[in-house]
Amino acid sequence: MGIPLKNILNIGGLRECKVIAGHKALNNIVTYVTVMEVPDIVKWLKGNELLLTSLYPIKDNVEAQIQLIEKLKEAGTAALAIKPSRFIEKIPEEMKKKADKYGITIIEIPEKISYLDILSPVMNAIFNKKIVLQEDLEQATMLLNEISLTRSGFNEFIETLAFLTKSKIYLESLVPYIKVDDTTEMMPLSEEQLSELLAIQRPLRMIRYLNKNQAESCIVTPIIIDGYLFGTITSWDYNIEFMEVDLAIQEKASRLLSLEFLRQKVKYEIEQQYKSEYLRDLLLNEDIDTRDLEERGRLYGLKETLPYFLIIIRDKNTLNKNNIFSERLTKVEALLKEIDADIIIGCLRKSLIIMVPYKNQKINAKILDRIYLNSKKVIHQEVKLGVGSTYQGLSGLRKSYREAEKAVTIGPAIKKDQTIIYFEQLGVYRLISLIKEKKELNHFYEEAIGDLLKYDQESDLDLVYTIEQYFKCNESLKETADKLYIHVNTLKYRLQKIKSLTGLSLQKSEEKLMLHMGLKVFNYHYSSQ
């Protein structure tokens, strides 16, 4: 049972819409609201719909726009709401005449009104109005409640739901740690469809593809936990005559499934917490008995006889309050496990920690590239990978972790163009990082290049940058001048200025080393801030 169109016009965004044709059809009953996404939408319609469209699928075909009214009449559509501002200049007059003739109301949607402004309130009104056969619903609910999801799993529950609704039912998990029987070759829902389900939080009629070419009309019911979409129930071959009862049963099933999804979510989060605590003990706590660490490690697939190298991944906002890797660990872990099932993944100190068993140099390089691309894909921003050397045993894992941490901490400042930074590439910075006395390091670079830094603050010669490029170009005057876009004589003047300010000559090995090391220590100082 639906609602007369004239009553719906007083709900939500429709209050600001205008009826421009089919005024005599305002008593048409509306039982559903759907969106026209494809040109052949008519064959998916069941009747009594309020159809929302921008006419985009047929925006360049005026004849098709006019014929649409005839097709909607044949399908029993109640009304057509058009948003003309985006893809067509105006609604054709011939279209309005056809609507008056066939008794289909045409509603014009203003540009400021979105589809969701209409969909959500109208669907809520329709659901509240529907008269559900309470006896059937109570019996169905009792039967579903009797099935223990914990004991029998999802299959028996879904089979019972299919029996109750006399339709094909497919359960889909949108999180990798909740496993369902995924045997149907069905294309994933689009981002727009997922957003619509999350916004409406009710069963919606949608078009889904069983494969790339075969599209089917179906009812999709969201499974929502704490405001997030965790899965869906998709129903095919539904009977329009009993849809009110079936939809109510599916909503009951969705609520029961959400409880089981929540139970598995909590279980997974506890397991991840234990794994993070284990990684902290394994990599940072040297007081714990190694036999205990080896035993706990076997739970996560750690093989103490294999050599491993560690990777630390950080995003550019690692120091922010939120831990983006912890929030999206499930997706990252699912993708990386496809690369190598023996990888161990966890979060530590707002970074992603990956322990990779060593294969060979060529395979490892491919693994690293794929890890970088998949991690970047999940968190939607640039990431840096610090890679430690390969070692065997627990002490080796700790050493590789410390190396990876130095690589990802120091590396971005000195290897600005690299996204994957190996500890072994840090060169002299590996030695500098071993110096614990920070005051001595500060004193060293102040003594070597402090006057250059002060001078650069008061002039535009960029002497520090100049000497850096000079060393990078292996002290070639021409190559350095080209790199700086200056004349060789200008470069010579700058180098003489550097000598006069620092008292260090580039012609004397010890003094040149002092300058070079001063730059290295300065870069290390700011990379480790």
CA pair distance 164, 158, nearest whole angstrom:
10
Q: Which amino acid is at 469?
A: Q
Length of the chain: 529
Give the DSSP letter string of 261-312: HHHHHHHHHHHHHHHHHHHHHHHH-TTS-HHHHHHHHHTTT--TTSEEEEEE
CA pair distance 52, 78, nearest whole angstrom:
11
Q: Is the pLDDT of residue 322 over 50?
A: no
Nearest Cα to 92, choosing from 74, 108, 71? Answer: 108
pLDDT tens digits for range 518-529: 888 888 776 665
Whole-number pLDDT of residue 119 = 84
CA pair distance 21, 75, nearest whole angstrom:
18
Helix 477-484 × helix 488-502 angle, to 10°: 100
pTM confidence score: 0.58
CA pair distance 182, 173, nearest whole angstrom:
9
Pairing mode, strands 49-53 and 79-82: parallel
CA pair distance 114, 441, nearest whole angstrom:
60
Whole-number pLDDT of residue 176 = 83
Tokens linked to 344 = 């161990």
Band (pLDDT 50/70/90 cuts) for residue 329 is confident
Q: Which amino acid is at 348?
A: L
CA pair distance 299, 388, nearest whole angstrom:
24
Q: Are 116 and 229 in contact (CB under 8 A)?
A: no
Say which residue the tokens 């480790």 belong to. Answer: 528
Give the DSSP letter of residue 105.
E
Q: Is the pLDDT of residue 364 over 70?
A: yes
pLDDT tens digits for range 412-437: 877 777 888 899 888 888 888 777 77
Give the other-Cβ count within 10 Å of 254's Cβ.
21
CA pair distance 382, 366, nearest whole angstrom:
19
Question: Exposed, middle or buried by CB within 10 Å (0-12, 13-18, 19+), for 376?
Answer: middle
Whole-number pLDDT of residue 144 = 76
CA pair distance 313, 347, nearest whole angstrom:
10
pLDDT tens digits for range 105-158: 999 999 889 888 898 888 877 766 544 445 566 767 777 776 656 566 788 888
Pairing mode, strands 105-108 and 204-209: unpaired
